[in-house]
A and B are shown apart, each in its own frame.
Chain A
Amino acid sequence: MPDEPRTPDLKWMDAEVERVRAVPGEHGMTLEAINIGRYGVVPDHWPYLDDTPRGAAPGGPVTFASSYSIMDKADVWAENAAQLYEEAIRERWTSAADIPWATLQPLPYEQERAIGQICTRLSEQGFLTQQVLGHWLEKIAYGFLEVKSFLATQLYDAGRQCEVFRKRALANGGGLGIETPGIWNRALVDSLKWTECSVGLHILQGATTIRLLEALETALPSEADQTICRLVARDQRRHLAYGEAHLAFHLQKRPERREQLNTGFFRAESAYASDTAADRPFCEALVIVLGGADGHDAGWRRLLALQERQAQAYLDALDRAGMPEHRARAYAAIHRPLAALV
């Protein structure tokens, strides 16, 4: 038993540490509040292959090279990541206690089943998002800790999206419906570069889902449904904000990628349009919910208008990120994915 007294080495006290005293701001001790001195300097290229913390004193042991492969700031950074991380934590909510479940009222069978079908897609989307982010998180080097932290909040948000829509589908006498065609799922899983993945996940999926949730919040009858849509859309706005800021930063640092991105977005856009066109149960469910008491024709009209708003929201986001030219080059079917049907 090593319990005999000994003289401490204490050499660690001689480390060349940069001494700072961060001060909490309006929102407390945020990541932005501690980004001072060398701790706030995010290099264009992160040199460490291990888990060396940014700003730590030099002289640590040489250790294992790890699996980090995104080492360049241009390939992952967004100027708003720290802010979005703190915002996500401030805006936390729980599906068990923050949804007024008691306001759910029995609905006609067709409408309840339609809501269940919509929930099936949105639940699946949350599950997909977790799997996609889980794949990428370990690739991002420690130096970009704000991005890793923000993506952890998104990972968590996506889990909540998965289960809150599951709970809604099962809570009012309906149930889950038919799975999505999976074409979109594959497009995201297939992404080979983080920026392309982010544009698909944060911008295309994010912007179109926000518009969908806004429409559902207006159309759905109960306060419980409206609250779910409002809270999930608020989460999605943070994800979209990261996507826009990352793309803007990436373009600024890697202008030579512009043409490749303009071309590459075709994959996600065509998958989005194909998946939407193939998901007849989801589209018909939307016709029922958006039409409401005004009937199916009104529902169709509103669905087609929603799909155009979704396409515009995506293109507007690209515009804000610095790719206005993509509006003229986007895959045409994103505006009207159901053109073969109506």
Chain B
Amino acid sequence: MTTETAQYPALKLDWLEPGTESGLSVTPSRRGLSLEDVDKGGYGNPPEHTTNLSTMRQRGSAARGNTPRVGRRWDAKAELWSASAAMLYEEAQARQWSSALDIPWHTLTALPDDLELAMCQLCTFLTQVEFIAADLPARFMPFISPDFYEVQLFLGSQAMDESRHEDVFRKRALANGGGLMRPGRGASALLSLQDFTEMTALIHLVGEGFVQTMFRMGELVGQNEAEKRIFRLCAQDESRHVAFGVTHLKYTLETEPERREELHAYLDRFEPALAISQGGITIEGDVSESMAVLLGGGTAHFDEGRQKLLAIRKKQVNEYMHRLEVVGLSERRERMHESLRQYLTV
């Protein structure tokens, strides 16, 4: 070490003993160094109720005591926690994809006009609603305490995924001789939601769940490998979003069972809206017709396509019912809105 003239103040170094935990034994797991690998001891286990309501202090770091507040936050873990958030965030990182490069765009070939317009109508609907699915989780971020930072990381990955979905369906609409068709009612009314659990119930459990089922049927809807790949990759992303919502709602009902009727009330209001939405559970309307055209292979086979669409609708509702059972709302089978219940199998 060189010796220098001490023209600078001596370091106080009191921060070297901040009272935080150190000396963790950390070993990367098979997929690398994950959040679950490092969040041990005091760094893991978010509190049931956080006292860090108003600063950016990261969980496990030391408080100063004089930090200015930055707004209101939810204090209870039950308000927003999802046990799968960290795992789903890591998975999202590992499975990011590029709409520019990971779709085999060269496999797009000229389609008969009815099929091209039908695909463009479906893409118009999807590019419209996917932005809302990005804006909505993002607007809840400022209310998340750093003690529950995993939830915020997950929502950030969802906003990224949904932006890519908006982008990939826009690209598909403009890539094969068609264009963006007339928009529908969209989903911007969802931006008025106020409660995190309400948002999760409507977006993750219902909205994303229905879209995920549809994307998983992409092998039937897609007319070429590019479209099938788009649906496959989007379904993979949506699976994470649905899983987040299911684990959050399960946790909510386990820790705050008194919220059961409140959850039903959210669903009571939202389920009928699906029936009138352009892309909802109805088999009428522009988007449903376009799907029937795609599923049938053209307007000449509309009835055949409509039967396939009907099968998809049944699958959407029954998978929704399964998610409800997993979170602990099995009585929803009797309370489900008639427009959906008609598709339920025993």
**Interface positions of A (Cβ within 8 A of B):** 1-3, 5-6, 8-13, 15, 17-22, 24, 27-31, 33-34, 36-37, 39, 50-53, 55-61, 63-64, 66-68, 85-86, 89-90, 92, 94-99, 101-102, 109-110, 113, 116-117, 120, 123-124, 127-128, 130-135, 137-138, 142, 145, 148-149, 152-153, 155-156, 158-160, 162-163, 166-167, 170-183, 185-186, 189, 280-281, 284-285, 287-288, 293-298, 300-301, 341-342
Would you call A284 and B12 a contact (CB within 8 A)?
yes
Bound together, the chains give a CA A133 to CA B139 distance in angstroms of 9
Bound together, the chains give a CA A99 to CA B22 distance in angstroms of 21
Bound together, the chains give a CA A155 to CA B9 distance in angstroms of 39
- List the 10 closest pairs (A to B, CB-CB), nearest first: A134-B141, A96-B32, A28-B100, A281-B15, A66-B188, A182-B67, A152-B163, A300-B8, A175-B22, A159-B156
Decide yes or no: A56 and B176 within 8 Å by CB, A1-B342, A64-B188 being known contacts.
Answer: no
Cross-chain contact of B58 among A19, A68, A120 (Cβ < 8 A): A120
State the Cβ distance, B156 to closest chain A Cβ, in Å.
Answer: 4
Q: Tell me which residues across on chain B come within 8 A of A27, comparing CB atoms.
A: 100-101
Would you call B186 and A51 a contact (CB within 8 A)?
yes
Q: Does B225 contact A (CB under 8 A)?
A: no
Bound together, the chains give a CA A199 to CA B115 distance in angstroms of 47
Cross-chain contact of A63 among B15, B152, B188 (Cβ < 8 A): B188
User: How many B residues, CB 8 Å from partner?
Assistant: 126
Extra contacts, 9 of them, besides A21-B176, A85-B167, A155-B159 (Cβ < 8 A), are A31-B167, A60-B184, A61-B185, A63-B189, A132-B142, A133-B141, A155-B138, A167-B33, A182-B70
Would you call A21 and B177 a contact (CB within 8 A)?
yes
State the Cβ distance, A132 to closest chain B Cβ, in Å.
Answer: 8
Stretch at the interface among B129-137, B197-205, B249-257: B129-137
Closest to A7 in B: B302
21 example contacts (A-B, Cβ-Cβ < 8 A) are as follows A13-B114, A17-B180, A20-B178, A28-B105, A29-B175, A61-B185, A95-B32, A96-B31, A96-B90, A97-B94, A124-B58, A131-B144, A137-B135, A153-B160, A163-B35, A175-B23, A179-B67, A181-B64, A182-B67, A185-B70, A186-B68
Bound together, the chains give a CA A149 to CA B128 distance in angstroms of 13
Closest to A24 in B: B105
Would you call B138 and A178 a contact (CB within 8 A)?
no
Q: Tell me which residues across on chain B come within 8 A of A128, comparing CB atoms.
A: 56
Bound together, the chains give a CA A130 to CA B152 distance in angstroms of 8
Q: Does B127 contact A (CB under 8 A)?
A: yes
Cross-chain contact of A293 among B1, B90, B342 (Cβ < 8 A): B1
Q: Does B290 contact A (CB under 8 A)?
A: yes
Closest to B190 in A: A66
Would you call B302 and A8 a contact (CB within 8 A)?
yes
Q: Tell me which residues across on chain B come within 8 A of A89, comparing CB atoms.
A: 96, 98-100, 164
Q: Tell me which residues across on chain A come within 8 A of B67, comparing CB atoms.
A: 179-182
State the Cβ distance, A127 to closest chain B Cβ, in Å.
Answer: 6
1/0 per residue, CB under 8 A from A, across B17-30: the answer is 01011111010100
Q: Tell me which residues across on chain A come within 8 A of B157, comparing CB atoms.
A: 156, 159
Cross-chain contact of B20 among A5, A59, A137, A177 (Cβ < 8 A): A177
Q: Tell me which residues across on chain A come within 8 A of B135, comparing CB atoms.
A: 137-138, 148
State the Cβ distance, B336 to closest chain A Cβ, in Å.
Answer: 15
Closest to B304 in A: A5
Q: Does B331 contact A (CB under 8 A)?
A: no
Would you call B70 and A280 a contact (CB within 8 A)?
no
Would you call A92 and B96 a contact (CB within 8 A)?
yes
Q: Tell me which residues across on chain A come within 8 A of B124, comparing CB atoms.
A: 53, 56
Would you call A173 and B166 a contact (CB within 8 A)?
no
Decide yes or no: A127 and B56 within 8 Å by CB, A18-B179, A166-B38 being known contacts.
Answer: yes
Q: Tell me which residues across on chain A come within 8 A of B139, comparing CB atoms.
A: 134-135, 137-138
Would you call A15 and B182 a contact (CB within 8 A)?
yes
Would you call A63 and B186 a contact (CB within 8 A)?
yes
Would you call A86 and B138 a contact (CB within 8 A)?
no
Bound together, the chains give a CA A188 to CA B34 distance in angstroms of 30
Closest to A293 in B: B1
Would you call B131 and A148 a contact (CB within 8 A)?
yes
State the Cβ distance, A71 to closest chain B Cβ, in Å.
Answer: 14
State the Cβ distance, A19 to closest chain B Cβ, in Å.
Answer: 5
Q: Tell me which residues across on chain A come within 8 A of B182, comparing CB atoms.
A: 12, 15, 56-60
Would you call A127 and B179 a contact (CB within 8 A)?
no
Bound together, the chains give a CA A99 to CA B289 distance in angstroms of 49
Highest count of chain B CB atoms <10 Å: which of A51, A109, A131: A51
Q: Tell me which residues across on chain B come within 8 A of A285, comparing CB atoms.
A: 15
Q: Does B194 contact A (CB under 8 A)?
A: no
Q: Tell me which residues across on chain B come within 8 A of A158, comparing CB atoms.
A: 156
Decide yes or no: A127 and B128 within 8 Å by CB, A34-B174, A53-B170 being known contacts.
Answer: no
Decide yes or no: A135 and B141 within 8 Å by CB, A166-B38, A297-B5 being known contacts.
Answer: yes
Q: Tell me which residues across on chain B come within 8 A of A162, comparing CB atoms.
A: 58, 149, 153
Q: Tell me which residues across on chain B come within 8 A of A50, comparing CB atoms.
A: 186, 188
Q: Tell me which residues across on chain A come within 8 A of B329, comparing CB atoms.
A: none
State the Cβ distance, B90 to closest chain A Cβ, in Å.
Answer: 6
Would you call B33 and A178 a contact (CB within 8 A)?
no
Cross-chain contact of A174 among B22, B96, B132, B310 (Cβ < 8 A): B22
List residues 145-176 of chain B with CB under 8 A from any CB of chain A.
146, 149, 152-153, 155-157, 159-160, 162-164, 166-167, 170-171, 174-176
